[in-house]
């Protein structure tokens, strides 16, 4: 295992242990609103601090971008860690056991290492650039589905961008009529990990943040899939509009998504 991936795994497991223990003691979870439909807990912050401390202990010169703390500038800008300490906070608050720790590392602007850890199921998804993707040390690959018909897709509702609800629902309707089924589980990180593992055949969501998708993107790519924006381009990290699947399914996803794009989605 790459030494930096090893540190990311150590950080994810340590944070996951705290999250799992707290999940069993819901009376001690403190919730506050960061913004409209945007919640954070004391556990998010505690897990995030554990991850940051673990990384900086080994690599004090590295930069970090994290959901709750923002940017921590390091002296070596070539290395940038992207952290979501608890992706699926609403599930966590509601007692739904589906959430994950997400940690990615970029080197000179390119995704290099990735970890997504589900502390409830004990599932550790990892990837290193050019080395493939693994689930608990076993190689994973994206689905070999050849078309949308009969596929199972994952998605997320635009709960922070409800002005886009009509456009999103039109996309959903077009895709739903062709698929075997759709899933909305509440963690974009795990959705992408499940695409990488072939558990779902594709994924689309709008308005995501880099910490939601960075680790999952590398997992999908290293598992043989593609990740693009809604136009099939590479602006998804900036726009937050993300599609992931194998090449054939992704092409069909984009065909059904494009007719419903609004100017705001295109120009983000």
Q: Cα 52 vs. chain centroid, distance in angstroms?
A: 18
pLDDT at 152: 98
8-state DSSP, 41: E
Q: Which residues contact 33 (CB under 8 A, 6 or more apart)?
A: 39, 40
Place of tokens 């635009």: 158
pTM of the model: 0.95
CA-only gyration radius of the chain, Å: 18
44: left (phi over 0), alpha (psi -120 to 50) or beta: alpha
For residue range 221-237, list pLDDT tens digits in order.
Answer: 999 999 999 999 999 99
Q: What is the pLDDT of residues 182-196, one digit of tens each?
A: 999 999 999 999 999
Give the torsion sign (CA, 222, 223, 229, 232). positive
pLDDT of residue 163: 73
Count of other CB atoms within 10 angstroms of residue 42: 13
Rounded to whole angstroms, the Cα distance separating 74 from 170 reads 44
Angle at CA 84, nearest 5°, toward 79 and 86?
155
- Domain 3-140 CATH (choose: 3.40.50.1000, 3.40.50.2300, 3.30.540.10, 3.40.50.620): 3.30.540.10
Domain boundaries, the chain: 3-140, 152-267
Write down the number of H helices and E strands in the chain: 9, 15
- Are the CB atoms for 196 and 225 separated by under 8 Å? yes
CATH numeric code, 152-267: 3.40.190.80
Of 122, 98, 110, the closest CA to residue 222 belongs to: 110
pLDDT in tens, 146-162: 999 999 999 999 877 77
| DSSP class of 231 | T
At 266 the pLDDT is 65
- Measured over the CA atoms of residue 215, residue 216, residue 218 and residue 223, the dihedral's sign is positive
State whether the Cα torsion 3-129-156-211 is positive or negative.
positive
pLDDT in tens, 239-259: 999 999 999 999 999 999 999
Would you call 218 exposed, middle or buried from its count of C-beta atoms within 10 A (0-12, 13-18, 19+)? buried
Q: Is the pLDDT confidence value at 268 over 70?
A: no
Tell me the DSSP string of 93-123: HHT-S--EEEEEEEETTEEEEEEEEETTTTE
The pLDDT assigned to 211 comes to 96
Query: Is 174 or 264 the better-scoring residue by pLDDT?
Result: 174
Phi-psi region of 232 (alpha: psi -120 to 50; beta: other; left: phi over 0): left
Residue 82: both structure tokens together:
């992207």
pLDDT over 80 at 264, yes or no: no
Q: Give me the phi and psi of 53, to 5 degrees please.
A: -60, -40
């Amino acid at each position: 295992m790459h030494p930096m991936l090893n540190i990311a795994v150590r950080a994810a497991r340590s944070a996951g242990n705290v999250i799992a223990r707290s999940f069993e003691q819901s009376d001690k979870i403190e919730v506050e609103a960061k913004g409209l439909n945007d919640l954070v807990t004391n556990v998010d912050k505690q897990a995030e601090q554990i991850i940051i401390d673990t990384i900086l202990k080994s690599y004090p010169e590295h930069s970090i971008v994290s959901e709750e703390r923002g940017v921590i500038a390091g002296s070596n800008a070539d290395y940038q860690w992207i952290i979501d300490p608890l992706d699926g906070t609403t599930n966590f608050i509601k007692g739904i056991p589906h959430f994950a720790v997400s940690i990615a590392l970029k080197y000179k602007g390119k995704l290099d290492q990735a970890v997504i850890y589900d502390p409830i199921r004990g599932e550790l998804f990892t990837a290193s650039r050019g080395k493939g993707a693994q689930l608990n040390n076993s190689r994973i690959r994206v689905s070999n589905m050849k078309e949308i018909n009969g596929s199972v897709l994952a998605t997320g509702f635009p709960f922070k961008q409800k002005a886009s609800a009509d456009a999103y629902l039109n996309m959903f309707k077009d895709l739903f009529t062709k698929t075997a089924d759709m899933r909305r589980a509440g963690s974009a990180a795990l959705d992408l990990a499940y695409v990488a593992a072939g558990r779902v055949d594709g994924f689309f969501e709008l308005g995501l943040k880099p910490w939601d998708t960075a680790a999952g993107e590398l997992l999908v790519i290293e598992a043989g899939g593609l990740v693009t924006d809604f136009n099939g381009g590479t602006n998804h990290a900036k726009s937050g509009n993300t599609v992931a699947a194998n090449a054939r399914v992704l092409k069909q996803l984009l065909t059904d998504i494009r007719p419903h794009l609004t100017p705001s989605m295109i120009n983000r």
